[in-house]
Amino acid sequence: MTLQPKPLASRSTLLDVWDLRWPERRLLLLCLLCMTLGFLMVLSSGLAAGRPLRPPDLLPLFVYAISLLVMHLSLVAVRFQGDQILLATLAFLSGFGLLAQYRMGAFDTSDLAGPGLFLFPLGVLLMLTACVALMHGRYERLAAGLWIWGGLSLALVVVLLLIGQRYRGAVYGAGLITPTELLKVTVVLFLASFIDRHAKPLSNWGKGFPRPPLRDLLPLLGFLAVLAGLLLFQRDLGMLVILGVTLLVMLFVGTGRIGYLVLGGLGAAGLGALVLTFFSHGQSRIAAWQSPFDDPTGNSWQILQGLSGMYSGGLWGEGFGRGNPEYTPIAQSDFIYSVIGEELGFVGCTLVVVFFLIFFSRGLGIADQTRSSFGKLVTVGLVSVLATQTFLNLGGVTKFIPLTGITLPFISHGGSSLLTGFISLGLILAISESAPGSARRPTVAPKRARAGAEAPRQKAPRRRVRDADPELHSDPFPGEEEIAPALRPDARASGRATLRRTTGRKKPVARSKDPLD
């Protein structure tokens, strides 16, 4: 069974689009089947523990199934022809997150008006809105709002600092929401617009010793300096790292200069050392990472409990719903990966990583196939944001890098992060719809041109010069003696040219008036 759909005809109907998106439909059904099995595992463990089964307990699974159905039918209705595997990968990751949050008790099924249960359908709605509004190349209009995206990014942080509240060292909005999550979209749009407009001067590093064009980089550096200062004052070091890595990757892709990665890495190392010198918040996290057993009941308690849970999971885990994630602080948010390791083991952790790799590879493939330089930069930027966020979370949980407090995309509990991820994916899907690799219907051509394209064009037989107008073969040099061997009948029939020689100068070869000759 192949997942490569056939291209649509010039005049496609809804039935044609329905047939085109059969790979997506089957993958979504497989995702629904996997999530159903997961919910049954959680419910069976609850029954074994003596908890009664109530009909509202099936509500999250019902919401997930309805959301997938609405998503698929909506894309068919608008004749969307973009990437299908990326959407199915998102369905698996977000469904797995919905299942993990249900396992952690994040949903109060007795309160149907609770906001947590409807975050997933709201994210699907935002993704569809962004995709439909920006498909058919309309995303190019976003490039015109260069400084609108820059001003909006700075305004988000300023407003949060003015009206927000501090909790565990960071600043949050009302209800502990983080509106600065939108920076993952607005900053990427600003960077893509700026690099796309100034790609040529930014790639000119001069002759001799290479040096970056500081004059052209000055507006970009000024914006980043203000934004970095605001994020440091907010103590959002994780967001600062994500946007910094994304900036370097986008500069490299937009200009082809690897020097941006080298100089950016050196600058990041110096800035990191400076931050750790003046911010005690970062120093405590470095100390907990380097020597967690020096303070096992304090700053290192979370990471030690997470590692202990993953170690107890072993290869196959203790079973979904049979672990003890309540011993790990904030397990439903920052340390959801440790819960997966405890209850599904190394196999479950590997499965999650594989699906993230598929998601990122499909996103980079869309960027590679996109003809628009702005669309390519936007796709690379959004994928870089999600990939960096995933690396920071998984690396912090497994003690590969210090903790940053970053959530795992589409899986961790966090409404702002989840909705921002869906908006990012909607923009990527809109760009994939205009990529050459998508199953787009061909451009409608005139009937005569299409008819000629169906059969190979037959080339008219080449007429010999001697078979053309006899007047063309009259002697252009009268009075000169011509020596020509007699042509044999078999030679004339086979079409061989007659060898002509003159006693004096060469006679020019007469050409036929036939335009095909």
pLDDT-wise least confident of 35-44, 51-60, 482-491: 482-491
C-alpha span between 347 and 341 (Å, rounded): 8
Per-residue pLDDT for 111 more than 90? no
Q: What is the pTM of this model?
A: 0.81
Instruction: Work out the average pLDDT over 120-145.
Output: 94
List C-alpha distances in Å: 475 to 472, 486, 509, 512: 9, 17, 11, 15
Contacts 24+ apart (CB under 8 A), 68-74: 68/28, 68/31, 68/32, 70/121, 70/124, 71/28, 71/124, 71/127, 71/128, 72/21, 72/24, 72/25, 72/28, 74/128, 74/132
Per-residue pLDDT for 510 more than 90? no
Percent of the chain with pLDDT over 70: 79
Per-residue pLDDT for 482 more than 50? no
Instruction: Work out the average pLDDT over 133-146.
Output: 93
Q: pLDDT tens, 359-409?
A: 999 999 999 999 999 999 999 999 999 999 999 999 999 999 988 888 999
Among 420, 402, 418, which residue's Cα sits nearest to residue 410?
418
Record the tokens describing residue 435, joined without a space. Answer: 């990529």
pLDDT-wise least confident of 73-82, 273-282, 386-395: 273-282
Per-residue pLDDT for 489 more than 50? no
The helix or strand, by DSSP H or E, that contains position 91, with its residue range, turns out to be helix 85-103
Sign of CA dihedral 428, 358, 247, 438: negative
Sign of CA dihedral 14, 19, 22, 23: negative
**pLDDT reported for residue 65:** 95
Q: Are 321 and 104 in contact (CB under 8 A)?
A: no
If you search the block for the tokens 């607005």, which residue do you land on? 186
Per-residue pLDDT for 494 more than 60? no
Instruction: Work out the average pLDDT over 107-113.
Output: 70
Among 342, 346, 332, 352, which residue's Cα sits nearest to residue 310?
342
**Chain Cα centroid distance, residue 73:** 22
Higher pLDDT, 284 or 92: 92
**pLDDT reported for residue 424:** 96
Higher pLDDT, 492 or 162: 162
If you search the block for the tokens 């994210």, which residue do you land on? 123
Record the tokens describing residue 331, joined without a space. Answer: 């397990």
Q: pLDDT tens, 217-228?
A: 999 999 999 999
C-alpha span between 271 and 293 (Å, rounded): 28
Record the tokens describing residue 451, joined without a space. Answer: 């008819």
For residue 502, the SS3 value is: strand
Q: Which residues contact 245 (CB under 8 A, 6 or more apart)?
A: 384, 388
C-alpha span between 124 and 286 (Å, rounded): 37
Burial of 166 (0-12, 13-18, 19+ CB in 10 A): exposed
C-alpha span between 215 and 201 (Å, rounded): 9
**pLDDT reported for residue 488:** 45
**pLDDT reported for residue 152:** 95
List C-alpha distances in Å: 440 to 10, 21, 24, 90, 231: 10, 12, 15, 22, 42
**pLDDT reported for residue 466:** 43
**Where does 291-402 have alpha helices with state H?**
301-313, 336-369, 373-397
Sign of CA dihedral 339, 341, 342, 343: positive
Per-residue pLDDT for 450 more than 50? no
Q: Are 276 and 220 in contact (CB under 8 A)?
A: no
Record the tokens describing residue 56, joined without a space. Answer: 């509202």
Record the tokens describing residue 276, joined without a space. Answer: 């750790």
Q: What is the mean pLDDT of the chain?
A: 81
Instruction: Work out the average pLDDT over 506-514.
Output: 47
